[in-house]
Amino acid sequence: MKHKGQMFLIAAAIIITSLVILLSNINFVSPDIQKRYIENSLENKIFENLKEEIAKVPIYSFYNEINENVLNFFQFLEKYLSSKGFDFNAFYLSINYSGSYIANVTIINFFDNEINVTLVLNSSPEQIESFIAQKNTIYNVSFSVNANDNYNLNVKYEENEENITFNTYNPSYKYFFDLIFTSNLGIRRSKEMKELNIS
């Protein structure tokens, strides 16, 4: 009989020791960390969704309404996102070559303030346009180009600089956007270049 009680005590000691070892290896995540992870994941999804939808605006617009539709979409996003506690800023540039000797460049400033913009086209002679872009405004600039040639447009805005290449072999609509999405969890930024074939 004495051995039976000792066996229960030894078994209990082994089970308790095993449980202590197992529980010490498990990492418990605090609810704050879980909440922050979920919020960050949701914000990443929202931002990725925004990028996809902004890229689609020119695709689903009538050709002569693209820039107005982009501006309207930016205004809609700003209103919607600010109601959710987010800040939204964007810079949009398009290069439209329709087959003539003119390349039309459109700028939309959707930053919180006016910005200095400088456009330099590597033509011969070099063409330069500089202006101050007000918020929520569409700016159109025309550059003289030759048919069947390659060009580089250097774009400076705020502290940013981009080089955008395009050619004049076929009609095209090339567009670039710089999106900035700010929340309590930080800043997300994306710069993307897309092109539509309009021939």
CATH of the domain at 86: 2.60.40.2950
- Amino acid identity, residue 156? K
| Matching residue, tokens 């956007």 | 177
Domain hosting residue 89, numbered range? 35-197
Can you give the pLDDT at residue 118? 96
- Domain assignment present for 22: no
CB distance 90 to 178 below 8 Å:
yes
- Kindly state the DSSP code that residue 102 receives in the 8-state scheme: E
pTM above 0.85, yes or no: no
Beta bridge partners, 115, equal 133
Q: Which of 31-40, 90-99, 100-109 has the lowest mean pLDDT?
A: 31-40
Tell whether the model's pLDDT for residue 178 goes beyond 60. Answer: yes
Q: Which two tokens stand for residue 186?
A: 């930080």
Confidence check: pLDDT of 4 > 80:
no
Give, for 84, the enclosing helix (H) or strand (E): none
Whether residue 14 lies inside any domain: the answer is: no
CA-CA-CA-CA dihedral for 72, 66, 137, 101, to nearest 10? 180
Residue 143: pLDDT above 90?
Answer: yes
Radius of gyration of the chain (CA): 28
Using the predicted structure, report yes or no on whether residue 185 has a pLDDT greater than 70: yes
Q: How many domains does the chain have?
A: 1
Domain-located, residue 4: no
Domain for residue 18, yes or no?
no
Residues 6+ apart with CB under 8 A from 135: 109, 110, 111, 112, 113, 114
Distance CA 188, CA 18 (A): 46
Q: Say how many C-beta atoms besides its own lie within 10 A of residue 88's C-beta.
A: 19
8 located within any domain: no
Identify the weakest region by mean pLDDT among 22-31, 87-96, 139-148, 181-190: 22-31
